[in-house]
Amino acid sequence: MSKLFEPITLGKLTLENRIVIAPMCQYSSDEGKATAWHHAHLGQLSFSGAGLLILEATAVEAAGRISAEDLGLWDDATEAAMKDLITGLRENSNMPLGLQLGHAGRKASCAAPWIGGAQIAQSAGGWQTVAPSAVAFAQGTEAPEAMSLARIDQLKKAYIETVRRADRLGFDLLELHGAHGYLLHQFLSPLSNQRTDQYGGSLENRMRLLLEIFQEIRAEFPVEKPIGVRISATDWVEGGWDLEQSIELAKALDELGCSYIHVSSGGLSPHQKIAVGPNYQVPFADGIKRYVKMPVIAVGLITEPEQAEAIIGTGQADMIALARGILYNPRWPWHAAAKLGAKVSAPKQYWRSEPHGLKGLFLPE
């Protein structure tokens, strides 16, 4: 029996297998509203046979977008567009759907990556960014506005309002984005957080905002539906956020009833020095898993079925997440099931595509 294709339960949500489609920004929205691109992009991924599909980082307020083309869920217009998208996905696939709640903080107001990804100045059509402290992301970029306590309170209300909208839309799961150098990660890291109030200084203070927001959205979202958190386990910069601090955060989240932790790394500083290679982030997931009861998701250059099977089989993580790999091969779970002697869901319209030597590969959705 393949461990990768064993079911797993998060709260009261049972996933058919341990393969998660990670949130992947598409920079293709219209003032925060989902477009035809999202219908096509997410539609094909919903046919992949993965256990869970998490939509891209979705801004809880307009100022929290990485780019002007980011997906959002902050008003009636963005909710209506999202409803059309979710309705279409549900009509054709039973795959559970999650939503990642995001705010870019000082990494907002940027161009799409295919046109360079650089920050757009306010004078050129960008907007004022916010952060824990008025520390720019990189030399030559505009400094963010340090958030007042009143602005932090406004942010919390934005998260809660987005969660209410997500619940109305019927999402099965939420993921709080605390990774990749975005706002909640900026509060965690001493490199970006130079505050002297209750949200800065000690590790306890730097973790405070993420933990408070988690508790507030947990109280708002139905108790039977899971909420997980994505973190960067390290900044890859000396003196920054690291695995030891990540373990403390994970233990605190575990105590608060977090449903899972999704372990990535980096993104906070242009000075990061990352040793990239297959499984390069898996040791962080493994290190955290030793200290928590909740399931742990590993991610990062996991490209081969046997590689994913080994991660789950050896207990380094409970699930694996695919991003660029499943963009390159949207049927990755089908091929993995074939290699590992497992079965995978597929739409009935595709059942005839089963290779002759693999009859019985597909499960009906």
Q: pLDDT band for position 364 (50/70/90)?
A: confident
What is the residue type of 204?
E
Confidence check: pLDDT of 129 > 80: yes
Q: How many CA atoms lie within 13 A of 140 on its CB side?
A: 4
**Token code pair at residue 100:** 């990642």
| Interval 222-265: pLDDT, tens | 999 999 999 999 999 999 999 999 999 999 999 999 999 999 99
Looking at residue 103, its pLDDT comes to 98
Beta bridge partners, 320, equal: 19, 298
Q: Is the pTM of this model over 0.75?
A: yes
Question: What span, in angstroms and rounded, lies between the C-alpha atoms of 55 and 177?
Answer: 12
**182 is an active site residue:** yes
User: Average per-residue pLDDT in the chain?
Assistant: 97
CATH superfamily, region 8-364: Aldolase class I (3.20.20.70)
Q: pLDDT band for position 174 (50/70/90)?
A: very high
Beta bridge partners, 344, equal: 362
Tell how far CA 34 is from the center of its chain: 17
Among 27, 159, 182, 260, which one carries the catalytic annotation?
A: 182
Could you give the maximum distance between any two Cα atoms of the chain, in Å? 66
